Structure 1
Amino acid sequence: MAQNPPYKICFVPKSKEEKEEDEKNYKRYSEIVATTFPTAEGWFDVPIYQCQGFWYSFEMAGVGPLAFQDHFKARPSDILLASIPKCGTTWLKSLAFSIMNRKSHPPSALQQHPLLKFNSHDLVPVMEMMLYNNNLNGNRIPNLDILPSPRLFGTHIPYTSLPQSIALSGSRIIYICRNTKDNLVSWWHFINKLRLKNSLEPMKVEEAFKMFCKGTSSYGPFWEHVLGYWKASLEKPQSVLFLKYDELVIEPALHLKRIAKFMGCPFSSMEDKEGVVDQIIKLCSFENLSNLEVNQTGICDVGIPNNAFFRKGKVGDSANYLSPEMLEQLDHITKEKLHGSGLML
């Protein structure tokens, strides 16, 4: 695909002074990561670093989390799609983008729809990976002010590490999680696709299991990440909507209407009669998205092949890869971690 992702317009030309200031900031962030943050063995044969209790890949996010925290200025109309990787992020982005833009890009007009031209991650960029990532943006702070409202962004940052401006502005957050076992297996498959691309030996599932349970997976520990958003959704339900991938699979229409209402653009009775909800579900279905040319042959702007974001999309597939002992241990850890929270996965 020759076209640049829409968010690229945020990287406008800057003055010499502005460029120097950006480079100064990124140099400072890099020094902080290199000298003060703990590190551990990563999933790509390069270390990961721990920031504010969670683990990040320098290769995939650079120092983006720190730049995102310092420089993002939220608006009340902003909507942030949050998740830990491999919990249905691609699907949620496709659904939310289609809901928000259904007037200008009707889901029935398939030939012109942006989802046919771009992977959903290029339409809803991950803030710390695609907008503030020094490895990708050349040490430039994006100018997000030029984007019209409402703005739709994605993030994998844990709730407690989000920029303060998000809470202060009243921006809305939609968080999606998944059952622990399927998340692990999906992440393991995803990582092995990337390892193969980088000429690395596949990681054994036993090794992935060990690192996941220790919490040293990207943006992990998994349980603390999920709990952060879960507690926020209980405390501020008007600001944080908590979704479960497993439930979205079973009743997509019900949850699509919940999402639209939460976003401030509910479906009208006329749209309901005209089948707009079903059209969006069909447009964003795993079967449709995974078979699009852009998702079979294209490459996401962070350098990941788009087909890596699609595998099966099934609930319970982890039982085909994890031993009974592994499944039992993950259930035990999950029960222990979530005890007393009211959340069940």
Structure 2
Amino acid sequence: MDSVQDVECYVPESNEFQELLQSLPFERGAMCNPIHLYKGIWYRAHSLEAAMAFQRHFQARDTDIILATAPKSGTTWLKSLVFAVTHRSQYPVTDQNHPLLTTNPHGVVPFLELIYRNNKNPDLTSTPPPRIYSTHVPYTMLPESVQTSKCQIIYLCRNPKDIFVSMWHFGNMLLKDIPSSQPITIEESFERFCKGITMFGPCWEQALEYWKKSIEKPEEILFLKYEDLKANINSQLKRIAKHLGCPFSSEEENEGVIEDIANLCSFKHLSNLEVNKTGKLFFFQVVENNVFFSKGEVGDWINILTPSMVEKLDQVVEHKLNGSGLTLN
């Protein structure tokens, strides 16, 4: 196993975190990036330090909305849908000046891990309600104020086979811009993914945790499946709006507002906007907006994974979810 010093160039801001980092199990992840195991979940060093700062300092409001996902589970789509639903009075969906026409969804709904990476104790008090944030962290890493407040959480999960395929494509698009990146075969990447050794993984552990909490607190946590969004976006948008306390009126339904939101936030529409074809964002590196729009299809794994790969991952996930009532297929 490589040492942390050999592969992790990130310099923590505190000696305390540096000492913690040195004590954690370390591996190369499914895309060969250096990740550390903390309380059963794998993190990049900068993401873990930011997540811990978020957990320590964030003060939730009852009007807050937290969008939680595992990476490559439809995060970009969920952000656009929730922003459009909650701001439809301020920004009518057919408005030619709608923010989603000129700003990538990650720009209107920021990642808490990025906010707290740039500033370990930011002042978020001036942001008007509803404040909408997103995160990849598990439920147990959410701040106590989130868990005990009445803020709304929406969790979106996806079939792990499609998560892996989307991650594989996304990772390769990013790695091509890093000259020092180390190549990894899809077979090796898949083996690591099956072991859960991937950023914020294992994804099935995270999904199961939010699933159980959504059963305990259905009034605060809405559990969605990517596949259900694809199958019937209108009914899922109704669920989202109702959960967030802004249900669609009969008049809105008759005027086609739900369909307009679905069309505004569709993969085809968003991916063809100029901002998402040529714009860039800074995550842990400069990222072109177009990498957030891959195929977005359900079942694309069938074109990439071999039958033996499918059988192996299905067995892993079924074993982990056995008896829970949750399925991820």
Q: TM-score w.r.t. structure 1 length? A: 0.88
TM superposition shift of 1:46: 4.4
Separation (CA, whole Å) in 2 of partners of 1:204 and 1:296: 28
Q: Paired residue for 2:277, among 287, 296, 302?
A: 296
Alignment of 1:115-130 (within 5 A): 115-128=100-113, 130=114
Which residue in the other structure is 1:84 paired with? 70
Q: Are residues 246 and 211 of structure 1, via their aligned partners in 2, closer, same or farther at CA, if it must alter by over 3 Å? A: same
Q: Paired residue for 1:192, among 164, 172, 191?
A: 172
Separation (CA, whole Å) in 2 of partners of 1:299 and 1:216: 28
Q: Are residues 113 and 325 of structure 1, via their aligned partners in 2, closer, same or farther at CA, if it must alter by over 3 Å? A: same
RMSD: 1.5
Q: Deviations over 1:242-277 (max 9, x none)?
A: 000011101000000100010111111111111110
Which residue in the other structure is 1:103 paired with? 89
TM superposition shift of 1:310: 0.7
Q: Paired residue for 2:303, among 298, 306, 320?
A: 320
Alignment of 1:218-229 (within 5 A): 218-229=199-210
Unpaired segments ≥5 residues, structure 2: 1-11
Is the contact made by 2:229 and 2:236 (CA closer than 8 Å) also made in structure 1?
Answer: yes
Q: Deviations over 1:39-61 (max 9, x none)?
A: 111356542112221011125x2
Separation (CA, whole Å) in 2 of partners of 1:48 and 1:120: 26
276-285 or 300-309, which deviates more: 300-309
Separation (CA, whole Å) in 1 of partners of 2:183 and 2:244: 40
Separation (CA, whole Å) in 1 of partners of 2:40 and 2:192: 15
Q: Deviations over 1:74-116 (max 9, x none)?
A: 011111000000011110000000001111111111x201112
Which residue in the other structure is 2:21 paired with? 34
TM superposition shift of 1:117: 1.6
Separation (CA, whole Å) in 1 of partners of 2:227 and 2:266: 14
Is the contact made by 2:267 and 2:296 (CA closer than 8 Å) also made in structure 1?
Answer: yes
Separation (CA, whole Å) in 1 of partners of 2:48 and 2:206: 20
Q: Paired residue for 1:176, among 137, 153, 156?
A: 156
Q: Are residues 335 and 174 of structure 1, via their aligned partners in 2, closer, same or farther at CA, if it must alter by over 3 Å? A: same
Q: TM-score w.r.t. structure 2 length? A: 0.92
TM superposition shift of 1:332: 1.1
Separation (CA, whole Å) in 2 of partners of 1:202 and 1:309: 21
Is the contact made by 2:31 and 2:198 (CA closer than 8 Å) also made in structure 1?
Answer: no
TM superposition shift of 1:203: 3.1
Which letter maps to 1:209?
F
Task: Report the secondary structure of 2:269's partner residue.
Answer: helix
Separation (CA, whole Å) in 2 of partners of 1:36 and 1:280: 47
Which residue in the other structure is 2:221 paired with? 240
Alignment of 1:89-168 (within 5 A): 89-109=75-95, 111-128=96-113, 130-133=114-117, 137=118, 139-168=119-148
Residues 1:286 and 2:267 aligned together = yes
Separation (CA, whole Å) in 1 of partners of 2:72 and 2:229: 14
Residues 1:256 and 2:237 aligned together = yes
> Identity of paired residues, percent?
48
Which residue in the other structure is 1:47 paired with? 34
Is the contact made by 1:43 and 1:191 (CA closer than 8 Å) also made in structure 2?
Answer: no
Separation (CA, whole Å) in 2 of partners of 1:203 and 1:221: 19
Is the contact made by 1:122 and 1:301 (CA closer than 8 Å) also made in structure 2?
Answer: no
Separation (CA, whole Å) in 2 of partners of 1:160 and 1:29: 21
Separation (CA, whole Å) in 2 of partners of 1:215 and 1:343: 18
Which structure dedicates a bigger proportion of its chain to helix? 1
Is the contact made by 1:196 and 1:202 (CA closer than 8 Å) also made in structure 2?
Answer: no
Q: Are residues 28 and 150 of structure 1, via their aligned partners in 2, closer, same or farther at CA, if it must alter by over 3 Å? A: farther
Separation (CA, whole Å) in 2 of partners of 1:316 and 1:100: 30
250-259 or 47-56, which deviates more: 47-56
Task: Report the secondary structure of 2:14's partner residue.
Answer: helix
Unpaired segments ≥5 residues, structure 1: 1-24
Separation (CA, whole Å) in 2 of partners of 1:269 and 1:26: 53
TM superposition shift of 1:38: 2.0
Separation (CA, whole Å) in 2 of partners of 1:29 and 1:274: 56
Separation (CA, whole Å) in 2 of partners of 1:118 and 1:141: 26
Q: Deviations over 1:259-307 (max 9, x none)?
A: 0010111111111111110000000000000111111111123222111
Task: Report the secondary structure of 2:128's partner residue.
Answer: coil
